[in-house]
Structure 1
Amino acid sequence: MNSNTKSHFPRETIEMIIRENFGKDIAVDTITELTDGWFNAVYILSFVGQGVRGFKEVVIKTGVQESKYVLSYEKNIMHAEILVYSLLQDTIVPVPKILVHDFSKSLVDCDYFIMEKLQGENWMKVDEKITPENKEKLIADIARYTAALHNIKGGYFGYIRNDKEFQFSDWRSAFQNMVHIAIRDGRKGGVDLPYDSILEAFEPLWEILNEVKEPCLVNFDIWKMNIMLAEKDGEYYIDGIIDHERAFYGDPYAEFISLQNICGDVEHNNVFKENYSLLSGKPFTFTRNNKLRFYMYKIYLSLLMGVEVYRYNEEDTKRMLKDCNKKIANSLAELKEYLENS
């Protein structure tokens, strides 16, 4: 998708970055931009000869230039991604190897990192080729990987930032802050969303967030586009999970929003629940308050996607806003109905 936050560089600049990081004799062969992403520019690089550090292909991901506007929670967002990759390196969660990250802005006016290129394609591109039996195995794996991710605990609640504005001692305060910052940015940007209706619906529910006692690592963006699948012996397997920049420490039930894109209703997916429990060491439950918090996170995700339209062109902005307003209205109605009948 076209986005004004993407930092595009000419071939000469990308070659300079490679030489400065890996040596003057490294020769870049091809440079291919991946256009699926919504926030960062991403390029696949191939090399003449042996490549770099044993890799014949790498991926370079560029951050947002400092002169460009981003939402409050998006500032220095790449720092969080690198931290999460480092936290996951010694777990069962498959992630690419990070070769270089540079936040100095000494070579270019944005953050960037270089990582190995994973095999295969994102799940979305091969979805129709996956058999039901293969999909069940993939869901079992993603359940275990999700639990392993949630087993990592933080020292605070909130977005992973080196900024006290985002760090809290309890989940209620952290999530309230996340919601209010998103609404503040949206109103400042003139984005037409039902902010008052969201706050009104959330007001009697803030208290149940106090039930979340552990700040679990939550990716909040695990869906088919961010899961790379490779093929072996006629079956697909998960080669890596990417794009962890929107991660936070908080309620693991927030993860199950984006996972609906893969598993459907997680609450009723026995394969997911059984395998998640194997790694979490706890029974998978979905109590009334779990469900209420789930609705809150579902509405928050649609709110975020709505205020993020600042980066898109007019046509995409209209389409996204229409979709987000519809999703928020539907989720608010579902929440109201659940409260009345539970």
Structure 2
Amino acid sequence: MNSISKVNLSDKKLTSLIHKNFGPHINILNVKENTQGWFNALYDICLDNDQKVFLKIAPPDHIPVLRYEQQLLITEIEVLELLANYPDIPSPKVLSIDFDREVIDSDYFIMESLPGESLSSCHQSFDIETLKNIERQKGRINRSLNKITGTNFGMYGKQHKKYQTWGEAFLEMVDNILADAYDFKAKLIWPQTDIRELFIQHKSLFDQVKVPSLVHWDLHDGNVMVNASGQITGIIDCDRALWGDASIEYYFNQIYPSSDDFYSGYGIDRPNSEDFIIKRQLYDLYLTLIFVTECESRKITDKDHRSWAKDCLSTQLKKLS
């Protein structure tokens, strides 16, 4: 997707980055910009030593970003290095990190390229039974990730404040996106004070969470890599990870509900308690606040996308009114 946060590099710059990180004897055979994401610039690169790598570049410092998006690249590197210790959570290996700004005026890192394609781009090529198996794999991997626990709640990166309770941490996340919406003049349909009150009214539900689980938070089908035989080869884009309530994971959302096979793989029945439904509606509301606000922060001009984001927010507000 086109976005003001993405850095466009010439072939000459790409070659310079590869030489710096792999040596002057290694050259690029083929390079393709990956256009699926909205935030970081992504390049799939084939090298002449038969190695395939993935280059990820943070936005330049002068590009305004949402508060939770600050230094996402650092978060992703830290999470990938953590996940490298968990073989049941397949993820790409970090190969090189460069924050010195010698070649380009942005931070970047290089990771191994995972085999296959994103599930969102290839799911139509699989039969029903294979898709069911993929769903169960997704559930098992998501459960394994959520079993990793921390000591405090909050966004994963060291740059973010941590809290003793999930209620405090999540309300800070809510306050931050409301502040972003104000800064970027995003229209949230309702007054901000009324939206915030919805979360305040149910803070006790968030405070019931006692253990900070590792949450990917952006684990949707676009970030699940699958090979031609239907095996998940890895999960990517963990830069929005946090320590919090596992039920804030994307696959628990009620906007696009997950399949029974996902829950089977995760090892639980589909949650249907009143407390869970209300809590998940609030998590979905928070997510749709981001949808609408990032339309302004990223200067998205696609009318269909902007309309979809607004409709998602409107639907969540109606559910909770």
2:109 aligned with 1:123: no
Over 3 Å counting, the alpha-carbon distance change for 1:238 and 1:169 in structure 2 is same
2:13 aligned with 1:13: yes
d(CA) in 1 for partners of 2:17, 2:241? 27
Conserved? CA contact 1:154–1:217, under 8 Å: yes
Over 3 Å counting, the alpha-carbon distance change for 1:86 and 1:8 in structure 2 is same
SS in 2 for 1:240: strand
Alignment RMSD: 2.0
TM-score scaled by length of structure 2: 0.92
d(CA) in 1 for partners of 2:103, 2:295? 29
Displacement of 1:319 in angstroms is 3.7
Specify the alignment match of 2:195 in structure 1.
198
Conserved? CA contact 1:160–1:166, under 8 Å: no
Code of the aligned partner of 1:265:
P
Matching of residues 285-300 of structure 1 within 5 Å: 285-300=271-286
- Which one of 323, 326, 331 corresponds to residue 316 of structure 2? 331
- Which one of 229, 232, 237 corresponds to residue 231 of structure 2? 237
The one-character-per-residue Cα deviations of 1:274-321 (angstroms, maximum 9, x if unpaired) are 3212xxxx77754321221111110111111211123444522x4444
Displacement of 1:260 in angstroms is 6.4
The one-character-per-residue Cα deviations of 1:88-134 (angstroms, maximum 9, x if unpaired) are 11221111121112233343221111111122211122121221111
Displacement of 1:241 in angstroms is 0.9
Q: How many residues align?
A: 318
2:266 aligned with 1:276: yes
Displacement of 1:270 in angstroms is 3.7
Tell me the percent identity.
29
Code of the aligned partner of 2:90:
P
Over 3 Å counting, the alpha-carbon distance change for 1:327 and 1:283 in structure 2 is closer
Code of the aligned partner of 2:313:
I
SS in 2 for 1:166: coil
Over 3 Å counting, the alpha-carbon distance change for 1:311 and 1:4 in structure 2 is farther
The one-character-per-residue Cα deviations of 1:16-60 (angstroms, maximum 9, x if unpaired) are 111111111111122211111111111111223x24xxx2x2111
2:206 aligned with 1:209: yes
Specify the alignment match of 1:169 in structure 2.
164
SS in 2 for 1:13: helix
d(CA) in 2 for partners of 1:98, 1:156? 26
Conserved? CA contact 1:257–1:294, under 8 Å: no
d(CA) in 1 for partners of 2:34, 2:56? 10
- Which one of 177, 183, 186 corresponds to residue 188 of structure 1? 183
2:82 aligned with 1:87: yes
Over 3 Å counting, the alpha-carbon distance change for 1:179 and 1:131 in structure 2 is same
- Which one of 240, 244, 254 corresponds to residue 250 of structure 1? 244
2:289 aligned with 1:303: yes
d(CA) in 2 for partners of 1:275, 1:32? 34
TM-score scaled by length of structure 1: 0.87
Matching of residues 51-70 of structure 1 within 5 Å: 51=50, 55=51, 57-70=52-65
Specify the alignment match of 2:224 in structure 1.
227
Code of the aligned partner of 2:204:
E
Over 3 Å counting, the alpha-carbon distance change for 1:314 and 1:125 in structure 2 is closer
Q: Which runs of 5+ in 1 are unaligned?
A: 337-342
Specify the alignment match of 1:265 in structure 2.
257
d(CA) in 1 for partners of 2:103, 2:53? 19
d(CA) in 1 for partners of 2:313, 2:117? 31
d(CA) in 2 for partners of 1:199, 1:210? 17
Code of the aligned partner of 2:77:
I
d(CA) in 2 for partners of 1:121, 1:75? 28
